[in-house]
Amino acid sequence: MELSPTAYVILGMVSREARSGYEIKALVDETTRFFWAASYGQIYPELKRLAAAGLIEGVDAPRGERKRTVYAITPQGEAALKGWLRQAPATYELREEGLLKLFFAGVLQREESAEILRSMREHRAGQAEQLRALEPKAREKEEAGDPFPLIVLRGGIELNEWIAKWCERTEAELLDPARKERSG
Nearest to 144 by CA among 7, 16, 9, 11: 16
Q: Tell me if 57 contacts DNA by CB under 7 A.
A: no
User: Strand, coil or helix: what is 26?
Assistant: helix
Q: How far apart are the first and last CA of the chain?
A: 54
Of DNA, its own copies, none, which one sits near residue 44, judging by CB under 5 to 8 A according to partner kind?
Answer: DNA
Burial label, 120 (beta-carbon count in 10 A; 0-12, 13-18, 19+): buried
- CB nearer to DNA: pick between 63 and 182: 63
Q: State the nearest-atom distance from the C-beta of 98 to its own copies, in Å.
A: 4
Identity of residue 150 = L
Binding status of residue 100 toward DNA by CB under 7 A = no
Positions touching its own copies (CB under 8 A) are 5, 8-9, 12, 15-16, 31-32, 34-36, 78, 81-82, 84-86, 88-108, 112-113, 115-116, 119-120, 123, 127, 145-149, 151-152, 155-156, 158-159, 162-163, 166, 170, 174
Query: What residue 172 binds from its own copies, DNA, none (CB within 5 to 8 A, per partner kind)?
Result: none
Q: Are 114 and 157 spatial neighbours (Cβ–Cβ below 8 Å)? A: no
Strands 56-60 and 69-73: antiparallel
Nearest distance from residue 109's CB to DNA, in Å? 28
Name which of its own copies, DNA, none residue 175 binds, using a CB cut-off of 5 to 8 Å depending on partner kind: none
Nearest to 130 by CA among 99, 151, 161, 167: 161
Kindly list the residues in this chain that would bind DNA in the complex (CB under 7 A): 4-6, 20-23, 26, 37-42, 44-45, 47-48, 63-70, 95
